[in-house]
């Protein structure tokens, strides 16, 4: 189990720029999740993939956000025209399908700072 891998670990960008983050889940996990965490808050759900299909999106995910999982393996999260309010830790998690109480396995996250 190599764990969930996220890149980059840190990203500093200027307001208005686009950024893209990558997540490599645990290889045998079909389910992939993106969460966002700001200071003093718990992780907030953004979106969910079952294999390559994006099955749920939170209303937190504005139209500037897009996520893909083209081959059902790694996933990318893109934020266009970043705003200072986008500054947060972006977490990726994966879990196996089958058991509905399977825990989520989290990566270390990508910390985004928008200046």
Partner 1 sequence: AQSVSQHNHHVILSEAASLELGCNYSYGGTVNLFWYVQYPGQHLQLLLKYFSGDPLVKGIKGFEAEFIKSKFSFNLRKPSVQWSDTAEYFCAAGGGGATNKLIFGTGTLLAVQP
Provide the Cα torsion 65, 66, 67, 68; round to 10°.
-170
Nearer to partner 1, 71 or 101 (CB): 101
Nearer to partner 1, 12 or 55 (CB): 55
Quick one: which of 88, 95, 112, 114 contacts partner 1 (CB under 8 A)?
95
The SS3 of residue 6 is strand
Q: Which of residues 6-65 bind partner 1 (CB under 8 A)?
A: 31, 33, 35, 40-45, 48, 50, 55-56
Is residue 39 within 8 A of residue 99, CB to CB? The reply is no
Sites of contact with partner 1 (CB under 8 A): 3-4, 31, 33, 35, 40-45, 48, 50, 55-56, 91, 93, 95, 100-109
């Amino acid at each position: 189990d190599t764990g969930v891998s996220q890149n980059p670990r840190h990203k500093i960008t200027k307001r208005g720029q686009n950024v893209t983050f990558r997540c490599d889940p645990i290889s045998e996990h079909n389910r992939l999740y993106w969460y966002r965490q700001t200071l003093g808050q718990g992780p907030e759900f953004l979106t969910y993939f079952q294999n390559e299909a994006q099955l749920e999106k939170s209303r937190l995910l504005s139209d500037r956000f897009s996520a893909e999982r083209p081959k059902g393996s790694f996933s990318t999260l893109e934020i266009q025209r970043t705003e200072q309010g986008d500054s947060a830790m972006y977490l990726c998690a994966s879990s196996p399908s089958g058991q509905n109480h399977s825990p989520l396995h989290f990566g270390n996250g990508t910390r985004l700072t928008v200046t």
